Amino acid sequence: MNIEDIKGFLPHREPMLLLQHNWLDEEGRACGTYKVSGDEFFLQGHFPGYPVVPGVILCEIIAQTAGILVMDELKKGALSLFAGMENVRFRRMVRPGDMVQTQCVLLRASGQLIKLQGAATVDGQVCAEGVFLLMLQKKEQ
């Protein structure tokens, strides 16, 4: 899926729509990509003269990748919100020009709570990884 397809189910929009491609692999894992251009709003002050993608942004890209796993609920108007993160580790800097590849596997779904294992890599090296808890929440009218 390209960015226009992703907009069909993720409620995010620029500048917070960070996922550029999204697909399910042959094993049912959610996969995605994001190319760091260097012009992103979150790089403006992080860090002047030596921009580094903040770890929380990597977590957000991983969470957006997982959206394809709950696409049907998102298309019905649900929001996917962070409910928690466990054992998150940041192992490598991500800088302008890097192609971030993400992967998520569903560990458990119980009612509105989704638990998944996710990781972001650049050139095969893990940048961020952890367990992410997402809550599907209906929009209040």
What radius of gyration, in Å, describes the C-alpha atoms of the chain? 15
CA angle 29, 53, 84 (to 5 degrees): 55
Q: Which residues are catalytic?
A: 46
Q: Does residue 101 sit in helix, strand or coil?
A: strand
Q: Does residue 35 sit in helix, strand or coil?
A: strand
Q: DSSP labels for 107-120? A: EEEETTEEEEEEEE
On whether the CB atoms of residues 9 and 71 are closer than 8 A, the answer is: yes
Q: Does residue 60 sit in helix, strand or coil?
A: helix
